[in-house]
C-alpha cells in the first residue's frame, strides 16, 4: 500500500461482549466507510427504534469521569470508546462506521487486543485520498491538581507522534512508571495493544454500590488488592499499568479527528486530562496546522478508490 493515504477496512466485522459499566450484552459491527468520513458511531436501538450518528470528535465528548463518552445524554451516546479508538488510531485507520446496539462499547478483555484481532480478520484497505495530519506548532500545556499534560512540536524532520507517559501511585504494586513510545502500527501492536485496564478492588466495590462497573471482572481488568494482584495469570507486561495509560491516551487523542504530529507528555494523566489537552490545543489557532501526510510505498494492503463502490449499509438516521 501507499502510506500517507487514508485507510478503511476491507469488509465489515462484528464483535459481542458486555459493557463494563452496565454489565449488559452489547454488539458492535465495524463497517468500511468512504474517505474523509472519519470515525463515526452509529448508535442503534434507541427509544422508538431511533438511530443516531455521532462523529468521534472531541467537541462531542460529554463525560470523562470513568471512561470517555461521546454523544448526548438525551438523544443518544456511546461510552467507553477509548480502547476501540486506540486500536483504530494505533493501526492508522481513518474511516470506519461503528454500529453499536447499546450505550457503551464492549470492554472485551480490557485492552485493545480483541479489536486489533477483529481488524486483522478483514484487513485494511488504502483509499486514494491523502491523509491529513494535525501538526503541533508550539507548546500547549494543561494542569489538573498534580496531573499535567503537554503537546510539543517535534524536530522538523519528524513526521510522527511520540508519547512520553508517566504515572505515580502510592501503591507499591504500581509505584512510579514511565514509558516513551513512537507510535506506529507495529509498536502499537507489540507494546500497547494488550495492556489491560486496572483498578483497586476497594474502588470497584464502591462503584458497584453506585450501580457502576457492573461488568468489571478478572476477565477484563487487572484487579489490585491491598498487597497483591488478584488475576491468577499476573501481568502481561512488567509495566502494564503505564502501558494501559498510554493506550488510553492514544484512544482519547484520536478524538482530535486526525493523526497528531508532535510529542505528547503527561504525568498522572487520565481521560479528563487527555480531553483537556485537545480543548487547549484547538483553542489556539496558532498552536497547530493541517498538513498532508508524506507518501511512501509499502507492501501490504489492498487499494480502493476514494469512495467505496457501495456502502456496507445505508441506515436512516435522525
- Please list the active-site residues: 271
Count of beta carbons in the 10 Å neighbourhood of residue 315? 12
According to the annotation, is 94 in a ligand binding site? no
In the block, residue with C-alpha cell 462506521:
97
45 annotated ligand-binding residue: no
Distance CA 238, CA 64 (A): 27
Cβ neighbourhood burial of 27 (10 Å; 0-12, 13-18, 19+): middle
What would the grid cell of residue 214 be?
457492573
Residue 163 CA to residue 148 CA, distance in Å, equals 14
Residue matched to cell numbers 467537541: 59
Q: Is 83 annotated as a binding residue?
A: yes
What three-state secondary structure class fits 272? Answer: helix
> How many other CB atoms sit within 10 Å of the CB of residue 12?
15
Cell (9 digits) for 194: 494488550
Question: Cα 37 to the chain's mean position, in Å?
Answer: 17
Task: Give the residue ranges of the annotated binding site.
Answer: 83, 244, 248
Task: Give the residue ranges of the annotated binding site for Zn(2+).
Answer: 83, 244, 248
Amino acid at each position: 500500500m501507499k502510506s500517507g493515504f487514508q485507510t478503511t477496512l476491507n469488509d465489515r466485522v462484528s464483535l459481542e461482549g458486555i459493557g463494563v459499566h452496565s454489565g449488559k450484552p452489547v454488539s458492535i459491527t465495524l463497517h468500511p466507510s468512504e474517505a474523509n468520513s472519519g470515525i463515526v458511531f452509529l448508535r442503534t436501538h434507541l427509544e422508538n427504534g431511533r438511530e443516531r450518528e455521532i462523529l468521534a470528535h472531541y467537541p462531542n465528548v460529554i463525560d470523562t469521569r470513568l471512561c470517555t463518552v461521546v454523544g448526548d445524554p438525551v438523544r443518544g451516546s456511546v461510552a467507553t470508546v477509548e480502547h476501540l479508538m486506540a486500536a483504530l488510531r494505533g493501526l492508522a485507520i481513518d474511516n470506519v462506521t461503528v454500529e453499536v446496539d447499546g450505550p457503551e462499547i464492549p470492554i472485551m478483555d480490557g485492552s485493545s487486543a480483541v479489536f486489533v484481532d477483529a481488524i486483522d480478520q478483514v484487513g485494511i484497505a488504502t483509499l486514494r485520498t491523502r491523509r491529513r495530519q494535525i501538526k503541533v506548532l508550539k507548546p500547549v500545556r494543561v494542569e489538573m491538581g498534580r496531573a499535567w499534560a503537554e503537546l510539543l512540536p517535534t524536530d522538523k524532520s519528524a513526521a510522527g507522534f511520540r508519547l512520553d507517559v508517566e504515572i505515580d501511585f502510592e501503591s507499591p504494586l504500581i509505584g512510579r512508571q514511565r514509558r516513551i513510545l513512537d507510535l506506529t502500527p507495529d509498536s502499537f501492536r507489540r507494546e500497547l495493544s494488550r495492556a489491560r485496564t486496572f483498578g483497586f478492588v476497594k474502588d470497584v466495590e464502591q462503584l458497584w454500590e453506585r450501580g457502576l462497573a457492573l461488568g468489571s471482572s478478572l476477565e477484563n481488568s487487572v484487579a489490585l488488592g491491598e498487597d497483591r494482584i488478584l488475576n491468577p495469570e499476573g501481568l502481561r507486561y512488567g509495566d502494564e499499568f503505564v502501558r494501559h495509560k498510554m493506550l488510553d491516551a492514544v484512544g482519547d487523542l484520536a478524538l482530535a479527528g486526525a493523526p497528531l504530529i508532535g510529542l505528547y507528555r503527561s504525568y498522572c494523566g487520565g481521560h479528563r486530562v487527555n480531553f483537556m489537552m485537545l480543548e487547549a490545543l484547538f483553542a489556539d489557532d496558532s498552536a497547530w496546522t493541517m498538513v498532508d501526510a508524506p507518501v511512501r510505498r509499502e507492501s501490504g494492503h489492498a487499494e480502493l478508490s476514494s469512495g467505496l463502490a457501495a456502502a456496507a449499509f445505508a441506515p436512516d438516521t435522525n
